[in-house]
Amino acid sequence: MADELKTPPWLEIVIPVRNPGAPFLRTIASLEAQSERGFGVVLSDNHSTAGEEIIREARERLEAAGIPVRAVCPPTELSRVEHWNWAHHAAHADWLKPLFVGDTLEPAYVAAVRARVAQAPAAQVVRCDFDFLIQGTRQPAARAPAGHASLTPAEFLRYFPERGNWLGGPINFAYTRLAWLSAGGYAVHLPACADLDLYVALVLRHGLELVEESLAVFELHGERFSMGIRRRHVIGVVELWLILRQARNYCEAVALPWPRHGVAAGVFVQVMNDYVRPWKARLRARLGL
Amino acid sequence: MTLLEVQLPVRNPTEVMQRTIDSLLAQTTREFTVVLSDNWSTSGTELIERALAQLREAGIAACKVTPPRELARVEHWNWLHARAEAPWVKPLFVGDWLEPACLERFLAAFGLFPQAGLVHVAYHLHQEGRPAMAIPQVVPFGYRPPAVMQESVLRIGHQFGPPSAYAFSHEAFLAIGGYRPSLPIAADCLFCCTLAARSGVVTIPDLLANFFIHGARFSTGLSARRRATLREELTYHGLLTYHAWTERRAVPWGGVARHAARKIRNYLYGR
């Protein structure tokens, strides 16, 4: 264990926290259970006013499990997405993996990503499948296009934006520090979809390695930003529209085959998913159909 | 550690870089460091070595860094700025130059207004075959807080000049993540406006920087990419407006609409 602590980790799991509750310890338990060590954790506390004892316990448990932890704190309290950026900058490993309070990784996650990186040394971005945990039940999230171990930027555009957001979020992505740094981090302008914005930019630049196993679980617990997002001052469709405009712009600048009417098609899919289908479902329920 | 790090992203530099280096040698202060970042140049490497030697000989702490692999233009800026060690970063591009008092004035402003995210100066625009044009600042010297700048960037958009005319807080840079490579033309506009609305701006109305549109410059080809320029301008302004709305700040919707209309009109009338 002493040797593991001395070797710089190849992967750092970046966990931004603020006033964490009990779900945080489930996240920590999933890291303790990893089948492979060699990774570290950057625990960034954005000036919590509650849950300090949980942060302390998390740190002690990780260290006891032989996982090096660096506890950091931004100089001033930051907004949510700014904190993600700051915490990422505090990481030094070649590979970074964001992990949020309540999210859990399957025991094979680190080993699977490491195996893929060893298999594809030029890889910059790795995506695995993941499941949602809603009221104790696991439900599969959108899967990547079948039959691909990896996608080049041009291949990615065959499935995006036409198929909507099948990429996922921070839960199922890992990327190199260099790719993250050079992409300019998470866009603070897009509080609901900063992750999608970054991952689209990364994939259009570097392509994507796909791990077909479901290796992460996204729990929609009460402390999450996503919980009650409809009551927040954000509009997902507007964010998606701004993301797609940027993506089209980038594709035209570097001569990638952006699909004709891709912005409109992507927004249409999102409108159907966010508004039309839920409205139809409510209508059917009301009519007893 | 000095308060200010001047960073030059460089790729295949030509002799125009000498004027940039000469302007650093002529600064009235030595309280700064210089980092030359060579993005895997295939020519002009001897000019980089010569520049380093000249700077060191003049008593200026200077070093060269290289990204782990060749990066795209805006990516290179992000990589370079992220690794700064000083609390303030001054980008300076090959071909641009600073007046001798420029860095001293920047340092004085950092001391007076440490809360600012961005400090900018007025500048001269130079184009080959044309007389230099002064781009003045209409506001007096001083700090304008985030609330004022939020409204200002939504009404006017980018007003801070090219990278050679501004310096920014490294801490603020780390929080906002950096420039957006998906907006290669307007990356600096969005970056400056975001910093201004987040942390406020210090304006130094003196003409202390020089922006030279030489042949090897990215900006040289922009006149042929007017449609892409308009699209990026509308996109970055949309990002700023949406962000202000999500943060429940006051959005001058009429000013936003007028700004967009002005950009579209300029595009349609070829201005």
Query: Using one digit for the tens of pLDDT, what is the confidence trace for A198-257?
Result: 999 999 999 999 999 999 999 877 666 665 555 678 999 999 999 999 999 999 999 999
Contact B180 A187 (CB under 8 A): yes
Among the partner-chain residues A79, A184, A252, the one whose CB lies closest to the CB of B181 is: A184
Angle at A256 between CA A253 and CA A259, to 5 degrees: 110
pLDDT at position B216 is 72
Cα dihedral sign, B211-B230-A264-A152: negative
* Residue B260 banded pLDDT, cuts 50, 70, 90: very high
Q: CB–CB of B181 and A250 under 8 A?
A: yes
User: Chain A contacts of B248, Cβ < 8 Å?
Assistant: 233
Q: Compute how many other C-beta atoms are within 10 angstroms of the C-beta atom of residue A241.
A: 19
Does residue A155 contact residue A216 with C-beta atoms inside 8 Å? no
Question: Which residues does residue A72 pair with via DSSP β-bridges, in sequence order?
Answer: A44
- Looking at the complex, report in whole angstroms how far the Cα of residue A126 sits from the nearest Cα belonging to chain B: 19
- Check CB contact under 8 Å for B174 and A189: no
A116-172 pLDDT, tens digit each: 999 999 999 999 999 998 888 899 998 999 899 999 999 999 999 999 899 999 999
> Pairing state of beta strands B201-213 and B118-127?
parallel
Dihedral sign from CA coordinates of B41, B47, B49, B51: negative
B189: closest CA of chain A, how far (Å): 14
Lowest-confidence segment of A6-10, B124-128, B222-226, B240-244 by average pLDDT: B222-226
Q: What is the CA radius of gyration of chain A?
A: 19
SS3 call for A16: strand
Q: How confident is the model at residue B73 (pLDDT cuts 50, 70, 90)?
A: very high
- Beta-carbon separation of A246 and B183 below 8 A: yes
The pTM (predicted TM-score) of the whole model is 0.94
A122 or A8: which leads in pLDDT: A122
Instruction: Verify whether the Cβ–Cβ distance B68 to A178 is below 8 Å.
Output: yes
| Tokens of residue A184, six digits | 């300019």
For residue A161, cis peptide bond before it (omega within 30 degrees of 0): yes
Quick one: pLDDT band at residue A1, thresholds 50, 70, 90?
Answer: very low
- What gap in Å lies between CA B86 and CA A185, rounded to an integer? 20
pLDDT mean across residues, chain A: 93
pLDDT digits (tens, 9 = 90+) for B152-203: 999 999 999 999 999 999 999 999 999 999 999 999 999 999 999 999 999 9
Residue from A13, A5, A8, A164 nearest A103 by CA = A13
**Gap between the Cα atoms of B80 and B95, Å rounded:** 18
Question: pLDDT of A185-215, one tens digit each?
Answer: 999 999 999 999 999 999 999 999 999 999 9
A203 with A149: CB under 8 angstroms? Answer: no
Inter-chain CB proximity A183 and B75 less than 8 Å: yes
How many other C-beta atoms are found inside a 10 Å radius of the C-beta of residue B260?
17
User: HEC string of B121-166?
Assistant: EEEEEEECCCCCEEECCCCCCEEECHHHHHHHHHHHCCCCCCHHHE
Contact list, A256 vs chain B (CB under 8 Å)? none
Chain B CA closest to residue A246 = B182
Residue A75 CB burial class (10 angstroms; 0-12, 13-18, ≥19): exposed
How far off is chain A from B228, nearest CA to CA, in Å? 7
Rounded to 5 degrees, φ, ψ at B129 are: 80, 5
Q: What's the number of CA atoms in the CB half-sphere (13 Å) around residue A153? A: 19
Nearest to B78 among A182, A188, A191 (CB): A182
Closest among A184, A284, A204 to A244, alpha carbons compared: A204
CA angle A39, B177, A254 (to 5 degrees): 100
Which of B176, B179, B232 has the CB atom closest to A249's CB atom?
A: B232
Q: Which residue of B has its CA nearest to A80?
A: B175
Q: How far is CA A220 from the centre of its chain?
A: 14
Q: Do A181 and B175 touch (CB under 8 A)?
A: no
Contact of A133 with A227, CB cutoff 8 Å? no
Structural contact between residues A217 and A131, judged by C-beta atoms closer than 8 angstroms:
yes
Average pLDDT of the segment spanning B263-267: 94
Dig out the tokens for B101 from the structure.
């008092």
| Mean pLDDT across chain B | 95
Is A246 within 8 Å of B180 when comparing Cβ atoms? yes
Nearest to A184 among B78, B238, B248 (CB): B78
Query: How far, in Å, CA of A147 to CA of A129, rounded?
Result: 13
User: Do B48 and B38 touch, CB atoms closer than 8 A?
Assistant: yes
Q: Are A236 and A189 in contact (CB under 8 A)?
A: no
Alpha carbon of A213: minimum distance to chain B alpha carbons (Å): 31
Strand partners, A216: A105
Q: Is the pLDDT of residue B138 over 90?
A: no
Q: CA-to-CA distance for A228 and A234, rounded, in angstroms?
A: 11
Which residues of A are less than 8 Å from B235 in CB distance? 242, 245-246, 249
Would you tell me how many other CB atoms lie within 10 Å of the CB of residue B16?
17
Q: How many CA atoms lie within 13 A of A241 on its CB side?
A: 14
Which residues on adjacent β-strands are paired with residue A150? A209
**Interchain CB distance below 8 Å, A86 and B174:** yes
**A246 neighbourhood in chain B, CB within 8 Å:** 180, 182-183, 235
Q: Please determine, for residue A2, whether its predicted confidence score (pLDDT) is greater than 70.
A: no
Closest by CA to A49, choosing from A28, A69, A77, A84, is: A77
Task: Say how far apart CA B139 and CA A178 lie, in whole Å.
Answer: 39
**Is the distance from CB of A196 to CB of A113 less than 8 angstroms?**
no
Residue A41's CB is within 10 A of a number of other CB atoms, namely 24
Give the residue-averaged pLDDT of A33-44. 97
Residue A40 confidence (pLDDT): 98
Q: Collapsing DSSP states into helix, strand and coil, what is residue A281?
A: helix
Residue A12 has pLDDT above 80, yes or no: yes
Contact residues, chain A, for B78 at CB < 8 Å: 181-184
Residues of A within 8 A of B69 (CB-CB) are 178
Q: Cα–Cα distance between A177 and A190 in angstroms, integer?
A: 21
State pLDDT tens for residues A58-99: 999 999 999 999 999 999 999 999 999 999 999 999 999 999
Which 8-state DSSP code applies to residue A273? Answer: I
Q: Cβ separation of B179 and A184 shorter than 8 Å? A: yes
Q: Which residue numbers of A have CB closer than 8 Å to B's CBs? A: 74-75, 78-79, 82-83, 85-86, 89, 178, 181-191, 201, 204-205, 233-235, 238-239, 242, 245-247, 249-250, 252-253
**Chain A residue numbers touching B241 (CB-CB < 8 A):** none
The strand pairing partners of A43, in sequence order, are A15, A71
- How far off is chain A from B69, nearest CA to CA, in Å? 9
Give just the sign of the alpha carbon dihedral A248, A252, A256, A261. Answer: positive
* pLDDT tens-place string over residues B221-244: 667 789 999 999 999 999 999 999
Complex ipTM value: 0.94
CA distance B207 to chain A (A): 30
Q: How far apart are CA B32 and CA B27, in angstroms?
A: 10
